[in-house]
């Protein structure tokens, strides 16, 4: 999956959730934040990521521009926790 990040124009990818915490179950999926420059609508970004990455397991992906991510990091505890507990998988 990581090898496809350049094709998507990803600047940074952060893995978070149960895989990072080590409490994976059969119902677990991959939780991923992708940061990239784009002018696409949020829903179109998600569709593009899912179609390109073509996951073989459940994937919850959030795709933000660097500006959106910076704003969310200041205001949203969910994003703050994902960054604090997560792991950077890729950085261009």
> Does residue 72 register a pLDDT over 90?
yes
- In tens, the pLDDT along 23-60 reads 888 888 999 999 999 999 999 999 999 999 988 889 99
d(CA 50, CA 39): 17
For the domain bounded by 2-91, which CATH number is listed?
A: 3.30.460.10
Count of residues making up the chain: 92
Per-domain residue ranges of the chain: 2-91
pTM for this model (two decimals): 0.91
Is residue 9 within 8 Å of residue 36, measured between CB atoms?
yes
Residue 86 confidence (pLDDT): 97
Is residue 30 within 8 Å of residue 13, measured between CB atoms?
no
Helices (H) and strands (E) in the chain, counts: 5, 4
> Does residue 1 register a pLDDT over 90?
no
């Amino acid at each position: 999956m990581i090898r496809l990040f350049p094709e998507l124009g990803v600047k940074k990818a952060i893995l978070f959730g149960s895989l990072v915490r080590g409490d994976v179950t059969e119902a677990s999926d991959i939780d991923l934040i992708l940061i990239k420059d784009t002018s696409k609508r949020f829903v179109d970004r998600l569709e593009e990521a899912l179609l390109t990455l073509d996951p073989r397991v459940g994937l919850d992906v959030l795709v933000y521009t660097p500006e959106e991510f910076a704003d969310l990091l200041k205001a949203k505890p969910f994003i703050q926790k994902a960054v604090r507990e997560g792991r950077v998988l890729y950085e261009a």
